[in-house]
């Protein structure tokens, strides 16, 4: 796997803590997702980041690249899923947890189900497109052939602040309303 964002190794796989609680572990990986989101922002993309963890190891970290790649499917989660599948050599990502700064959209939630991840942890909810508890609940829909356990609201304020600051500065520079979705 390449290193397109010039990431520092020290946060790629941070040193394990002594007997961390689930919340401490979740916050720790969410901080990595926030760091990835900051790279998206530097590229002029909406700051959304994702990391995937398998057996205590980060096997994917990605950020929204929709503008950078001119690709409507280049959401952080989709890129992270591709990286994780490549890292494991499998399309079934059993045993994996994905951490995302923003509640996944319908496309990404569908992809998480397709990839058979165990667990989704996200930061802030997305009232406009959230498909993991807000508008839809795709990851926990009993009619589908796989379900994920979902933890919402991890470092939600930090994740939301990042997005709000981005849109505020973009509105200021464009002087007009922009498409935030």
Nearer CB in complex with Zn ion: 105/121 = 105
Question: Is 77 assigned a catalytic role?
Answer: yes
Nearer CB in complex with Zn ion: 28/77 = 77
Place of tokens 């280049």: 74
Interface segment toward Zn ion; rule CB under 5 A; list 4-12, 16-24, 102-110, 130-138: 102-110
How far is 105 from 56, CA to CA, in rounded Å?
A: 26
Q: Are 112 and 92 in contact (CB under 8 A)?
A: no
Q: Given candidates 46, 52, 105, 124, which one binds Zn ion under the rule CB under 5 A?
A: 105
Least distance (Å) between residue 75 CB and Zn ion: 4
Q: Given candidates 54, 61, 66, 75, which one binds Zn ion under the rule CB under 5 A?
A: 75
Closest CA to 62 of 87, 93, 83: 83
Least distance (Å) between residue 107 CB and Zn ion: 5
Q: Are 50 and 65 in contact (CB under 8 A)?
A: no
How far is 68 from 92, CA to CA, in rounded Å?
A: 28
The site for Zn ion (CB under 5 A) is made up of 75, 105, 107-108
**Residues marked as catalytic:** 77
């Amino acid at each position: 796997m390449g290193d397109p964002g010039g990431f520092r190794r020290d946060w790629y796989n941070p040193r394990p803590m002594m007997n961390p609680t689930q919340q401490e572990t979740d916050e720790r990986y969410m901080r990595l997702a926030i760091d990835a989101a900051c790279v998206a922002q530097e590229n002029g993309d909406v700051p959304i980041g994702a990391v995937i963890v398998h057996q205590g190891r980060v096997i994917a970290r990605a950020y929204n690249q929709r503008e950078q790649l001119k690709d409507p499917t280049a959401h952080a989660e989709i890129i992270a899923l591709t990286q994780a599948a490549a890292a494991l050599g499998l399309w079934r990502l059993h045993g994996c947890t994905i951490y995302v700064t923003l509640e996944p959209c319908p496309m990404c939630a569908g992809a998480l189900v397709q990839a058979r991840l165990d667990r989704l942890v996200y930061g802030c909810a997305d009232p406009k497109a959230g498909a993991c508890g807000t508008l839809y609940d795709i990851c926990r829909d009993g009619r589908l052939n796989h379900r994920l356990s979902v933890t919402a609201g991890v470092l939600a304020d930090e994740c939301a602040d990042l997005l709000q600051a981005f849109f505020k500065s973009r509105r200021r520079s464009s002087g007009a309303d922009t498409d935030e979705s």
